Amino acid sequence: MRDAYHEQLDSVGHTLVEMAGLVGQALSRATRALLDADLPSAEAVISADDAVDALHRGLDVRTLDLIARQQPVAGDLRTLVASLRMSADLERMGDLARHIAKVARMRYPECAVPEDLRPTFARMGEIGAELADKVARIVEDQDVEAARMLERQDDVVDRLHRAVFNALLSKETAYTIEAAIDVTLLSRYYERFADHAVSVARRLVFLVTGGDE
Amino acid sequence: MRDAYHEQLDSVGHTLVEMAGLVGQALSRATRALLDADLPSAEAVISADDAVDALHRGLDVRTLDLIARQQPVAGDLRTLVASLRMSADLERMGDLARHIAKVARMRYPECAVPEDLRPTFARMGEIGAELADKVARIVEDQDVEAARMLERQDDVVDRLHRAVFNALLSKETAYTIEAAIDVTLLSRYYERFADHAVSVARRLVFLVTGGDE
């Protein structure tokens, strides 16, 4: 009985790793869809998010079931509750990748991002996907050191986010209002994606160290 | 012992009600700060958010402690886990009100919102605060019917959110890029505030009806 229980505990961890992998792929693909005005990629991201949502719901059900039926010891309970939260973060990261894909689809066959801002968004997409991949490995290896380092990379996203606004503001006449709205929301989506990745990493640190952050 | 336990369960509910009250007040005040370019109100909202964060953290600790030590029956466990999630939604609503206050502070003594859009933002602020107040009563009374009705009011916020974009786009030359950025983010904050209110209401419906949504 205890063996089945530990298998179930492990499977919760595996689901989180799988979700992190999927949302990282979704962000890469959404960024490509956005910058190349690639409609099939946009559609693929939008429909693939259902799989992330399903993993999230399944993990919730299994986790609550484990808590209710197995009455886990304090350490396992902390792991399970942290898993519920990490899963919520990852599900939200999937939503944000989908939001980006939806902007790409809405503006197709145009590109929603003005040409001079595309390298900045390419970089935000790249770092965001890297953060998601790192989160997958951090959760898999319970790697507190890597989790702590993740925060520095989030700073890069925040800087890029501000750079987008500065670029918009520095050339007041170069952009349409439509482009300004799209770019503002898109930049916010990338920033929030990175925030949630950091949030997962923080929960892992908290879990492993017992709060010594 | 069981009595102390039920008191603690009740106190979790009371904290949620208190948080909903506080974030509703924060949104009202942030909206006033924004539309009247009222710096003291903006500062007050920004510092008051610490109290919401503290309630959120305290509720987390107490809830986990209850789950670990009391091994609640399935129904109580569902309530406690739902409370953790509602608390996270309410904490985020507080953050969003703080974000709005920060934009007000950043643009002071100017008003971040162009004059013709102020009535729309006043309405979004009003509805958002109403949603938070309703959430407080819904949680207090476990009122499924009221929770279900909440969603309709959220539709109004979504319509106002789109109206903001349409207004920005319809008068391409009337707004600066800076105003477009501010207004886009602000409108998104109000929309997300309402989304989280609906999320709390949905969790309550799910909790009370056992999933019959």
What does the pLDDT look like over B132-156, one tens digit per residue? 999 999 999 999 999 999 988 889 9
pLDDT at A69: 86
Question: Minimal Cα–Cα distance from B172 to chain A, Å?
Answer: 6
Q: Would you tell me which residues 79-108 of chain B have a C-beta closer than 8 angstroms to some C-beta of chain A? A: 81, 84-85, 88
pLDDT at B2: 59
Answer yes or no: CATH 3.40.50.920 is held by domain A2-209.
no
pTM of the predicted model as reported, rounded to 2 decimal places? 0.95
Mean pLDDT over A86-100 rounds to 98
Q: Which residues of B touch A175 (CB under 8 A)?
A: 177
pLDDT at A68: 86
Q: How far is it, in rounded angstroms, from Cα B190 to Cα B187?
A: 5
Phi/psi-derived region of residue A71, left when phi > 0, alpha when psi is between -120 and 50, beta in every other case: left
pLDDT at B172: 60
Task: Tell me the per-residue pLDDT of A112-158, one tens digit each, with 9 for 90 and over.
Answer: 999 999 999 999 999 999 999 999 999 999 999 999 999 888 899 99
What's the per-residue H, E or C state across chain A? CHHHHHHHHHHHHHHHHHHHHHHHHHHHHHHHHHHCCCHHHHHHHHHHHHHHHHHHHHHHHHHHHHHHHHCCCHHHHHHHHHHHHHHHHHHHHHHHHHHHHHHHHHHCCCCCCCHHHHHHHHHHHHHHHHHHHHHHHHHHHCCHHHHHHHHHHHHHHHHHHHHHHHHHHHCCCCCCHHHHHHHHHHHHHHHHHHHHHHHHHHHHHHHHHCCCC
What's the per-residue H, E or C state across B145-173? HHHHHHHHHHHHHHHHHHHHHHHHHHCCC
Question: Could you tell me the pLDDT band of residue A210, with boundaries at 50, 70 and 90?
Answer: confident
Does the N-terminal peptide bond of residue B119 adopt cis geometry, omega within 30 degrees of 0?
Answer: no
Question: Could you tell me the pLDDT band of residue A198, with boundaries at 50, 70 and 90?
Answer: very high
Using the predicted structure, report yes or no on whether residue B212 has a pLDDT greater than 60.
no
User: What residue segments make up the domains of chain A, in order of their start?
Assistant: 2-209
- Per mean pLDDT, which of A60-74, A134-148, B60-74 is the most reliable? A134-148
Task: Tell me the per-residue pLDDT of B86-125, one tens digit each, with 9 for 90 and over.
Answer: 999 999 999 999 999 999 999 999 999 999 999 999 999 9
Using the predicted structure, report yes or no on whether residue B67 has a pLDDT greater than 50.
yes
Using the predicted structure, report yes or no on whether residue A101 has a pLDDT greater than 90.
yes
pLDDT at A172: 60
Task: Tell me the per-residue pLDDT of B42-58, one tens digit each, with 9 for 90 and over.
Answer: 999 999 999 999 999 99
Mutant choice from A84, A170, A177 vs B, greatest count of B C-beta within 10 A? A177
